[in-house]
């Protein structure tokens, strides 16, 4: 085979490969192309300088602010922010590529869901540094379910970006660390609540005032009391301005669990929406002291198990067969 023929075959193969690639990709949707200059959604914004975030959608809103070096949820009584969530969200949105505008003039905002947009504003030195309006999500059938239409600072240009903005929730309680405490049940050696006192003796739970002659101990219910501090979570934080009477602590139930060297106290107050108010004291982390939390009814129930659930009446022994009268 001559050199000319080899070169001709090579050119033909390249052409065929190009045609095949065009056929393969021709019907697929593509991600929005990044702008040639690599512009990002937060271009020119230094994240370390940001000291405030405001998010609003519909009638709900949340305000986050950096006060005295600590991020707090301003719309939730200045409770500390879950900083990892905030940092991750800001870093993620800062890396979102802008691409080229999909529309730049004669724009109907409603066409892109921007008439009822989610608003995300970042502040620097108390002044707005950048504002992002997040519109409609691109139809999932297009293949990129996370894409949203956005615009910055009320400008006319509308962009399609590949980010879902889900971390930027407009509910205040979603910006706090809801995990309060986690103490392994195997470390608990005693529990006291109301008229109940449980103690671990040789790895067995015992009820202090059990009447062994008439009562039987229910260890499964006792284990719930022992496990009450495992992965204890709240749903939100109560208003610190409310009084003990407002929150039902005038008739509180006090639960105390001890390990060999630490003591944890949970004071259970009145009913809240979908739960009960509680306070934590003793050897609990400092960041959860001096706050009143709302805990779900399901979780708080384990702190309220009474003696009636821990014992049951002992069944009388079955009578043996009657003795036969002695023969004469």
- Percent with pLDDT over 90 in the chain: 62
Q: What is the pLDDT of residue 315?
A: 78
Confidence at residue 261, expressed as pLDDT on a 0 to 100 scale: 97
How far is C-alpha 170 from the chain's CA centre? Answer: 13
Average pLDDT over the chain, rounded to whole?
Answer: 85
| Per-residue tokens: 279 | 């306070």
Structure confidence by residue, pLDDT tens digits, 131-161: 999 999 876 545 555 789 999 987 888 999 9
Q: What's the pLDDT score for residue 274?
A: 86
Q: What is the pLDDT of residue 10?
A: 45
d(CA 274, CA 280): 19
Helix (H, G, I), strand (E, B) or coil at 292: coil
Contact, 138 vs 149, CB < 8 A?
yes
What count of other Cβ atoms lies within 10 Å of the Cβ of residue 175?
A: 28
Say which residue, 204 or 4, is predicted with more confidence: 204
Q: What's the whole-number mean pLDDT along residues 178-192? A: 96
**267-283: average pLDDT:** 96
* Predicted model pTM: 0.80
Q: Dump pLDDT digits (tens) for 70-90.
A: 999 999 999 999 999 999 999
């Amino acid at each position: 085979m001559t050199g000319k023929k080899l070169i001709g075959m090579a050119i033909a193969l390249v052409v065929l490969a190009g045609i095949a690639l065009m056929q393969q990709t021709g019907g697929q949707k593509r991600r929005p192309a990044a702008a040639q200059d690599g512009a990002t959604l937060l271009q020119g914004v230094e994240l370390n300088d940001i000291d405030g975030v405001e998010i609003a959608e519909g009638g709900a809103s949340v305000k986050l602010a950096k006060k005295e070096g600590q991020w707090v949820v301003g719309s939730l009584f200045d409770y500390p922010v879950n900083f990892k969530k905030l940092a991750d969200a800001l870093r993620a949105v800062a890396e979102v590529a802008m691409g080229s505008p999909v529309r730049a003039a004669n724009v109907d905002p409603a066409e892109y869901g921007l008439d009822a947009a989610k608003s995300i504003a970042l502040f620097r030195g108390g002044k707005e540094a950048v504002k992002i309006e997040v519109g409609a999500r691109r139809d999932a059938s297009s293949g990129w379910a996370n894409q949203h239409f956005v615009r910055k600072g009320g400008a006319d240009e509308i962009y399609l970006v590949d980010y879902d903005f889900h971390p930027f929730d407009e509910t205040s309680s979603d910006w706090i660390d809801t995990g309060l405490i986690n103490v392994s049940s195997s470390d608990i050696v005693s529990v006291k609540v109301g008229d109940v006192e449980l103690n671990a003796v040789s790895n067995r739970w015992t009820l202090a005032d059990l009447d062994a002659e008439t009562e039987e101990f229910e260890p499964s219910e006792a284990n719930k009391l022992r496990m009450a501090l495992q992965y204890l979570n709240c749903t939100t934080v109560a208003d610190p301005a409310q009084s003990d009477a407002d929150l039902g602590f005038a008739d509180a139930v006090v639960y105390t669990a001890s390990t060999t060297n630490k003591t944890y106290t949970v004071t259970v107050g009145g009913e809240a929406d979908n739960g009960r108010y509680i306070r934590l004291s003793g050897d609990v982390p400092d960041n959860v002291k001096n706050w009143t939390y709302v805990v779900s009814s399901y979780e708080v129930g384990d702190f309220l198990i009474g003696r009636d659930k821990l014992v049951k009446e002992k069944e009388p022994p079955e009578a043996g067969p009657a003795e036969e009268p002695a023969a004469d």
